[in-house]
Amino acid sequence: MVDLSKLPPIPKDSKVRQAMGLGIGIWDYMEKNNRELGDTFTLTLPRQGPMVWTSDQKMIADILRLKPEQVDASLVQLPMDLGENNTVFLNGKAHQDSRKIVIPQFNTNKLKGRATTMHEIVTEHINSWTIGQELNIPRLIGDITLDVICYTIFDLRHGERKEKYKELMLHWMLEATSDTNFTLAQMVGAKDWRRWLNKKYLKRTAEGKMGNGKKGIFPWKRAVDLKIQLAAMIREDIEAARANVDEDAIDMLSILSRATNEDGSLLDVERVISECVGLMIGGHETSAATGAWFGIWMQQRPDVNQKICDEVIESMQKEGKYDAIINSELPYVTACLNESQRLTPSAVGFIRWLRHDTQIGDWNIPAGTAVLPNIYLTHRREDIYGKDVLDFKPERWLGGAKKPKPTEFLPFGGGRRACVGMNQARQQLRIIFGEFARRVEFTSEFDGKTDMPRSRMIGGQTEPEKGAFVTVKTIRPENYGFTEQSAEKEAVTA
Ligand code: HEM
């Protein structure tokens, strides 16, 4: 048992109230604790070690510097069965080796190679909408992300197999991260819960029992069924990739199927499946949640949205075409994404469980405690971002503005375990919101408002409590802005 008297202040709320504070209205709860207890406070949730949340810059610097042997990632509270050998749960050298396989797939050249297809996917989605259609932004971004994931991981763009993958991925992720499964995992302990699910998955896979995945009152059984079916498809693809090795294939599945351990042996099939499903989960709800807040900002700030539209059009006119690589790197849309992730980050914090007593800032934090840089509160510090810290002001990122330090801007975490998909996520969101600004006009309940809706946790990410619904008012043609005058005549408006 950790001696709580050695830890930063703990709110007077009961453990259950603290857990609820992290569920619905998490931002308000962080602000309340910040007001009452300061930059650094400890939450003590049921059946878990204490968690020290901090926006103190010295403490965050120490957390980012933690060495692999000082932390235990297997204690991360993810309740879904990714397989315990997934990058996220690995420690030390195994963790770094695993990242080395995946990270090169998100380097600049690889991303440039994917930009045009990402744009095609966004175009297909926009072209499929009708005037007056109501869309929920997080689900819509999630749907686009799944198409990008099918392409990135399996090199699938269309067809039955892609649709089957998409359906299984979506349903598995929704079941695996449902409120019920999250709560059960909290009660049992996430690691034990995952191991229990994984045992069931392996046993039933060995017996060839595919399950139904749709019926049944037990949410964990549906999650296991869906994982079995999804994994069976991935297993077929791994076998095919290994039977016909194509050294030029750059989809993740082919790369992971070719990857080897230190002794030259191929990665275990279950390990490849585990990394594939890990990348799906890593990129899905995170992007959906980030997109939800970005979309709300754009409804509240049509002036900013118009500037994004102007920036994309100017680039098209300069290039003589829509160039996905150039348009995914434009400075103003990048500044808007930064500003949205600063004020409304999808992850409130990221976690490191300490193996030993460790000096973090002025505190000697006991072993068995988790330390979390508080992303939300850090991004709202006046001493970092100035008096206008609460204003949505993309200009603060432009014109030679001072770049924040790694401890000051953390939407993708930091240090040795920082998000591997960051560049892909950012590229994708810039293309999506650049094209929304250029081609689509939405109306919504957020128009003319200045307050953000209350937040709640969905799949470990902070999203607007009741979704972010918008209605399609105008869809402009694909060439809008390039041949501006003729294009404007063709725009369909409600
Ligand atoms: C806007 C979208 C995204 C956000 C906000 C986000 C955020 C994060 C955060 C906060 C972490 C924890 C980092 C830490 O502990 O220091 C993380 C880890 C991770 N993310 Fe992302 N992410 C996003 C998109 C993606 C995408 C697109 C992928 C892959 C396709 C991905 C794959 C991963 C993986 C594999 C890890 C674990 C890294 C490790 O443990 O070494 N993420 N992400």
Ligand 1 midpoint to CA 88 (Å): 9
pLDDT tens, position by position, 194-221: 999 999 999 999 998 887 766 667 778 8
pLDDT at site 479: 92
Ligand 1, residue 424: give the atom nearest the CA.
27
C-alpha 237/C-alpha 476 separation (Å) is: 39
pLDDT band, very low/low/confident/very high, at 183 (cuts 50, 70, 90): confident
- Ligand 1, atom 1, lies closest to the CA of 287
C-alpha 198/C-alpha 204 separation (Å) is: 10
Ligand 1 midpoint to CA 72 (Å): 18
Residue 485 predicted with pLDDT over 70 = no
Ligand 1 within 6 A of CB of 55: no
More confident call, 119 vs 483: 119
Ligand 1 within 6 A of CB of 413: yes
* Contacts (Cβ under 8 Å, ≥6 apart) of 352: 63, 66, 70, 71, 370, 371, 372, 417
pLDDT tens, position by position, 152-164: 999 999 999 999 9
Ligand 1 midpoint to CA 9 (Å): 29
Residue 80 predicted with pLDDT over 70 = yes
* Contacts (Cβ under 8 Å, ≥6 apart) of 441: 472, 473, 474, 493
C-alpha 462/C-alpha 486 separation (Å) is: 42
Ligand 1, residue 145: give the atom nearest the CA.
27
pLDDT tens, position by position, 384-411: 999 999 999 999 999 888 889 999 999 9
Specify whether the CB–CB gap between 87 and 95 falls below 8 A: yes
Ligand 1 within 6 A of CB of 280: no
Ligand 1 within 6 A of CB of 286: yes
Residue 467 predicted with pLDDT over 60 = yes
The CATH code that applies to domain 4-493 is: 1.10.630.10
Residue of 286, 294, 341 to test ligand 1 pocket, by largest number of atoms within 8 Å of CB:
286
3 state DSSP class of 386? coil
Average confidence (pLDDT) over 338-359: 97
Specify whether the CB–CB gap between 453 and 296 falls below 8 A: yes
3 state DSSP class of 137? helix
pLDDT at site 214: 67
Ligand 1 within 6 A of CB of 60: no
Structure tokens that stand for 242 in this block: 């290994």
Ligand 1, residue 413: give the atom nearest the CA.
16
Average confidence (pLDDT) over 418-435: 96
Domain boundaries, the chain: 4-493
Ligand 1 within 6 A of CB of 7: no
pLDDT at site 486: 44
Ligand 1 midpoint to CA 284 (Å): 10
Q: Which of 416-443 are b and which e, b meaning 16 or more Cβ less than 10 Å from the residue's Cβ?
A: ebebbbebbbbbbbbbbbbbbbbbbbbe
- Ligand 1, atom 41, lies closest to the CA of 417
β-pairing, 352-353 with 370-373? Answer: antiparallel
pLDDT at site 249: 84
Taking the CA atoms of residue 379, residue 383, residue 389 and residue 395 in that order, the dihedral angle to the nearest 10 degrees is -90
The pTM (predicted TM-score) of the whole model is: 0.94
Ligand 1 midpoint to CA 487 (Å): 39
C-alpha 202/C-alpha 223 separation (Å) is: 13
Ligand 1 within 6 A of CB of 428: no
Ligand 1 within 6 A of CB of 411: yes
Residue 490 predicted with pLDDT over 60 = no
More confident call, 209 vs 370: 370
Ligand 1 midpoint to CA 286 (Å): 8
Average confidence (pLDDT) over 352-368: 97
Count the Cβ atoms, other than its own, within 10 Å of residue 446: 23
- Ligand 1, atom 24, lies closest to the CA of 283
Ligand 1 midpoint to CA 418 (Å): 7
C-alpha 70/C-alpha 62 separation (Å) is: 12
pLDDT at site 487: 47
β-pairing, 363-365 with 134-136? Answer: unpaired
Ligand 1 within 6 A of CB of 420: yes
